[in-house]
Amino acid sequence: MSGQKMVVGAFVGILLMVGSFAMAQAAGGGGGGGRGNRGGGNFDPAQMRQRMMDRMKEQLGATDDEWKVLMPKIEKVMQAQRDSRGGGFGGMGGRGGRGGNDQAPETAIGKAAQDLRTTLENKDAKADEISAKLKAYREARESAQQALAQAQKELKEVLTLRQEAILVLDGNL
């Protein structure tokens, strides 16, 4: 289980670096031939995701045909990693309301975390109510971790050893 925490930690670090890089480009710090800074600060998550996937394809040395097989499995792993954290950075101990994370959670673990936080905010909450919410949170987290392990297993089945090593270093496996 500590290995999974390391993977999640590494992935969060990568996301923070990619986000910082993208923000620097959006603020005018990146070249990109004028493409990266349209309108002085417009951040396009779809473009960032596409650039990230293009870099990953290149890093893995995947042909177009290989990428058609790898990309959906990589996306599934990345989604499972996000889900295991509660759907975003707010699932890592945040209370929402910061950075646009005040919307309703989209994952089972995010909802369970929100329910547990809400219960804990009630200073008069009974022990059995806290226990039930804590149990639901742990079950949702365990389910998300199992889904992540399964997605990673399915991805490993189609990788070369070199590709697997690259994805391990990147925090995806």
Per residue, the 3-state secondary structure of the chain, as one string, reads CHHHHHHHHHHHHHHHHHHHHHHHHHCCCCCHHHCCCCCCCCCCHHHHHHHHHHHHHHHHCCCHHHHHHHHHHHHHHHHHHHHHCCCCHHHHCCCCCCCCCCCCCCCHHHHHHHHHHHHHHCCCCCHHHHHHHHHHHHHHHHHHHHHHHHHHHHHHCCCCHHHHHHHHHCCCC
> Looking at residue 37, what is its pLDDT?
47
CA atoms within 13 A on the CB side of 169: 8
Instruction: Give the pLDDT confidence of 159-169 residue by residue, as tens digits.
Output: 999 999 999 99
Percent of the chain with pLDDT strictly greater than 70: 65
| pTM of the predicted model over 0.75 | no
The tens digit of pLDDT for each residue in 2-54 reads 555 555 555 555 655 555 554 445 444 444 444 444 455 688 888 998 999 99
Give the per-residue pLDDT at 107.
86
Which of 50-59, 99-108, 156-165 has the least mean pLDDT?
99-108
* Residue 78 · residue 172 · CB < 8 Å: yes
